Amino acid sequence: MSAPFIGPDGKARCAWAGTAPEFLAYHDKEWGFPVVDDQRLFEKVCLESFQSGLSWRTILNKRATFRAAFDQFDFHKVALYQEAYVEKLLQNEGIIRNRRKIEAVINNAQKAIEMQQEEGSLAAFFWRYEAKAPAEPQSQTTSEESIALSKALKKKGWKFVGPTTMFAFLQSMGFINDHEYGCCVREEIEIIRKQLKRPS
């Protein structure tokens, strides 16, 4: 385990929170906090797929542009994108201009609508893959749950949803509390998780 990062307030945090200026707020306010909102869940699946082969810092710095380009990741709108808009996105220097990943977002938006109709919500589906017996924090890049989630999504026709990508999704969206022991945010998230009403 890496030495903790001591923030400006003197409190210890996960080591990675201090590796880039923009990571502190993301660590303290977003990463690992449970999410039950369908649009935010869809956005994170998309952003994690764009991250594949890149760093999260790159994606985080481009997130505002991604949101503007993809209608705030409203999957009902994204599902309607045509080839002309794909070409427009490929000219947008503020995002990752990868045709396969862009087309995967559109495909996944269409699958998200189907999932919402079948399951009632994306959240109801994704929360079935909450970690049952979490391992040592930040000790793995895949898990039993991320492997199962990846298989389930691929079976439903989703793309760019490999086990490692899905583990990063589960970590960041609070399906597992993967903050290091001793991190000041870990206890806050534990309290939220205990009070959380899981979607069904």
Q: Which residues are known catalytic residues?
A: 26, 48, 56
CA end-to-end distance (rounded Å), the chain? 36
Residue 127 in contact with residue 152, Cβ under 8 Å?
A: no
Phi, psi of 12 (to 5 degrees): -80, 145
Name the packing angle between helices 38-51 and 99-119 (round to 10°). 150
Q: Which residue has the tokens 């597992």?
A: 176
Q: Which residue has the tokens 């993301």?
A: 26
Rg for the chain (alpha carbons), in Å?
A: 17
